[in-house]
Chains A and B, each alone.
Chain A
Amino acid sequence: MSDDDKIRAEALNWTLRVGDPAFEDWEGFTHWLDANPAHARAYDTVAAAVADGAELIAAAAPANDDVEPAIVPASPRRRAWLGGAVAASLLLVGGLWVWQAGSRDLYRIETAPGQVRSVALDAQTRVDLAGGTAMEFDRKDPRFARLESGQALFTVRHDEARPFRVTVGEDTLVDVGTVFDVRHDGEDFSVAVSEGAVQFNPKAQDLRISPGEMLRRHGKAGDYTLGKIAPAQVGEWREGRVTFEDTALDSVAADLARATGVAYVVAPGSADRKVSGSLLVAPLREDPAALGPLLGVRVRADGKRWVIGTP
């Protein structure tokens, strides 16, 4: 163990001891600090990290309802800790959750590439599925949808008492009176809002996405970035238009394949090349090669596929 590691381990131990409200050995602590000026620095580093973490966690969200009860049984005092009412409500939440999960009556809707389909969940709530999209809905709960893969535009009647929820992988979106577009391609994820607002992962990040904002994540563990998007551009695919702004060619190919039903693929080595442009989908169905001059790329036929690459 190097000296640094040793100091770090000692600093961690002191943080553990000093941080306890019952700690009294200030003399011993002072003694350790006296021994080496590096000790104070190491202690500050650990103590500050723990304080920062605790602050973020305290502010972020209460403990997950479904995690807490997992460790309950140890002793009857645990109940006193939670307080009767809280314990009861945790049970209730747990119960409801199980009941809901058990009683979901899901059905699946898929669209083929190039096909667009509209699903009305009630008189004022509609989900438009872009081509190449798979979704699940609940026969018993019209305020729920799951986007398995693809892209969908949600036009949702807001109901304070029963917010509309969309789950995408492990993420949850809750509407705050809304028109929003969600995409889930492989591991990539994005949500763009044109009206109202969407609450993203209320139990974790709890981030509000406002009109004209677009939240994106690249890859499963990637960072989220919040960018701007013209509200009119959100869901424009429904009118047969797609817009790319500095978009990598592999997503362009995937988007166009979905929108047109034409098998566009990206040429080897061109996946990361960025292009911009706004185009109508219908003409591409007639003439897939027309894409070339519109985006400044080279398009060539390869059997039934259309390969897009850098010129």
Chain B
Amino acid sequence: MPPAPPSSSRSGLEATFLENRDKLLHFLRARGAGDAAEDLVQEVWLKISRSAPGPVAAPLSYLFRTADLLMIDRFRSTRQSGTRERDWTEAHVDEAGASPEPSAERRLSAAQEAGRVLSLLESLGPRVSAIFRRHRIDGIAQKQIAAELGVSLSTVESDLRVAYRALAQWKERSDEA
């Protein structure tokens, strides 16, 4: 038998990437990537080939998820750099000539924010809080959480919706502040 053509020795992930490149591009544009969409497709590929995840059960979902998370991270970092600049200016006005190392104020405001989010989540009730942690921190699928807790999937969904809504409002408030 002649050796298989190189294309078939590519990982399933790479084949899926090449087959769905246009769909991914379309998705990134719809996600708001604009002119950067081409570059981001490239970045998705680099991310995937660097992390070399081994066999992936649902390669198409894996590609889209990588692209989606990339966009969320981009959004978060543009927003954060805006905030950082503002914080820095404030710190500079407050203590002229002070060193720019993470100040006690900065440490405190991070700790304070964490405390606020924690008590916000806990105020939603122990089940909402436990389901949120299980899903978003442990990364467990909603269906499995429902089975673990012996509740319906729609209960898990509505609890998560409560938590997400609260977090969205929290962020809105702290952006306004």
Contacts and interface: CB of A to CB of B under 8 A. Distances in A.
Partners in one complex: yes
Interface of A: 8, 12-13, 15-16, 18-24, 26, 29-30, 33-34, 37, 40-41, 43-54, 56-61, 63-64, 67-68, 70-71, 74-75, 77-78, 81, 201, 204-207, 210, 213, 215, 223-226
B157 A16 contact: yes
A56 B108 contact: no
25 contacts: A12-B168, A15-B164, A16-B160, A21-B141, A24-B58, A26-B27, A30-B23, A44-B71, A46-B164, A47-B75, A48-B79, A48-B171, A50-B164, A52-B167, A54-B132, A57-B114, A57-B121, A60-B114, A67-B126, A68-B126, A77-B150, A81-B148, A213-B104, A215-B108, A224-B108
A30 B150 CA distance: 33
B61 A24 contact: yes
A50 B148 CA distance: 23
A204 B30 contact: no
A78 B141 contact: no
B60 interface: yes
B112 interface: yes
B167 A50 contact: yes
B143 A59 contact: no
Of B111, B135, B136, B143, which is in contact with the most chain A CB atoms at under 10 Å from its CB? B111
Contact of A54 (B30, B68, B111, B137): B137
A51 B126 contact: no
Contacts of B92: none
A26 B133 contact: no
B138 to A, nearest CB: 9
Contacts, number: 164
A contacts with B: majority SS: helix
B contacts with A: majority SS: helix
A29 B143 CA distance: 20
Nearest to A203: B118
A18 B136 CA distance: 12
A41 B168 contact: no
Contacts of A78: 148-150
Interface of B: 23, 26-27, 30-32, 58, 60-61, 64-65, 68, 71-72, 75-76, 79, 104-105, 107-108, 111-115, 117-119, 121-122, 126-127, 129-130, 132-137, 139-143, 147-151, 157, 160-161, 163-165, 167-168, 170-172
Contact of B165 (A12, A223, A226): A12
A48 B78 CA distance: 11
A20 B142 contact: yes
Contacts of B76: 48, 51-52
Given A12-B168, A20-B142, A53-B121, 10 more contacts: A16-B161, A30-B30, A41-B32, A43-B31, A44-B71, A54-B136, A60-B117, A63-B129, A71-B130, A78-B149
Nearest to A73: B150
B41 to A, nearest CB: 14
A44 B108 contact: no
Contacts of B150: 74-75, 77-78
B114 to A, nearest CB: 4
Nearest to B134: A81
Contact of B114 (A19, A56, A71): A56
Given A44-B75, A67-B129, A53 B107 contact: no
B30 A59 contact: no
B148 A75 contact: yes
A261 B102 CA distance: 43
Contacts of A15: 164
A213 B105 CA distance: 11
A292 B115 CA distance: 42
A20 B141 contact: yes
